[in-house]
Amino acid sequence: MKVLGIETSCDETGVAVYDTAVGGASGLRAHAVYSQIALHAEYGGVVPELASRDHVRKLLPLIRQTLAEAGLSTTDIDGVAYTAGPGLVGALLVGAGVARALAWGLDVPAIGVHHMEGHLLAPLMEDDPPAAPFVALLVSGGHTQLVAVDAIGRYRLLGETLDDAAGEAFDKTAKMMGLPYPGGPQLAALAEHGTPGAFRFARPMTDRPGLDFSFSGLKTQVLLAWRGSDQADATRRDIARGFEDAVVDTLAIKCARALDAAGCDTLVVAGGVGANTRLRAKLQADARRRGGRVCFPRPALCTDNGAMIAFAGALRLAAGQYDDATVRATPRWDMASLSSVAAAT
């Protein structure tokens, strides 16, 4: 089954085709992402109305481009998957409207996909995928969650951030230190050249039991260190390194706890911060020490993309699940309310 995936929940327009008959990494026939970063840069953050309008401009050309790259025409498509939430309502409506109309016109089923389930399942698109049960760490711009995955589609929240998401903390900290929007990846790049230990920040909420996170205080700690410093380039690099190490350590400590609590040896990491080199290395080292396994998507599939939506939708469509003709946009949507994929088969 060839499934067209459409992602428009925030500031990336993503389109992909995933073929379940092929499966694995090769099942991804083509994928393309158009990022609106330049559009929002002068405002220092995503402007929802501008995001919606740009999705309108870019989505159809991107669908044509992706199908051409896959060597397919619209009539080859057996199903359409689109991000139905959570996200910006106007942005979601653009993808949902186009996806629903296309499915209607082609007389194929369509399904609204949960954006975070898309992130969570992205590592399963790679070769040698992990099997449930496992623990997932979702670390993105809007979420920091530890989730017990009992089966595909059956998710239990083990812990989450009480304030900023990890990616949000990266972006806000970068902004405070004068880096251009969106600063997360740039802060991480600077940290590569910083001196470890030159600045040491707290590992928030690791001194007490529990699986929740808090990154807001860490951000303030970094702001005070930055204000009190000489603000030289070398200092910026050292502070970036101190901040990154604090976030990575905190995430790693809570992941180990979550694996213990769930009695699992497999960790799956997804979302934009999952592209962070130091986080990947730290969690790999921890997994080796524990005798367990950690699985990531390739870095390009950590941040928002259409491939994860095509894949997550394809699993459900192939199991016989699909939506009625409603154009669905659900800005707030609890992942625990999803149904098991296997239940429909």
# chain residues binding Mg ion, by CB under 5 A: 3
Shorter beta-carbon distance to Mg ion: residue 12 or 244:
12
Which stretch in 122-130, 137-145, 153-161, 322-330 sits in contact with ligand ATP by CB under 6 A? 137-145
Check binding of 117 to Mg ion (CB under 5 A): no
Q: Which of 80, 177, 273, 309 binds ligand ATP (CB under 6 A)?
A: 273
Does 304 carry a binding-site annotation?
yes
| Terminal alpha carbon distance of the chain | 15
Nearest residue (CB) to ligand ATP, 2 versus 172:
172
CA-nearest of 267, 274, 239, 245 to 119 is 274
15 close to 313: Cβ distance less than 8 angstroms: no
Task: Confirm or reject binding of residue 5 to ligand ATP (CB under 6 A).
Answer: no
Q: Is 142 annotated as a binding residue?
A: yes
Least gap, CB of 36 to Mg ion (angstroms):
8
What is the closest distance, in whole angstroms, from the C-beta atom of residue 86 to ligand ATP in the complex? 7
Q: Is 50 exposed, middle or buried (0-12, 13-18, 19+ CB in 10 A)?
A: middle
**305 annotated to a ligand binding site:** no
- Residue 121 neighbours by CB distance under 10 Å: 27
Candidate segments 4-12, 50-58, 120-128, 292-300, binder of Mg ion by CB under 5 A? 4-12
The SS3 call for residue 242 is: helix
- Distance between CA atoms of residues 34 and 36, nearest Å: 7
Q: Which residues have C-beta within 8 Å of that of residue 57, sequence separation ≥ 6?
A: none
Q: Where does this chain bind ligand ATP (CB under 6 A)?
A: 10, 115, 119, 140-143, 167-168, 170-171, 182, 184-185, 188, 271-273, 275-276, 303-304
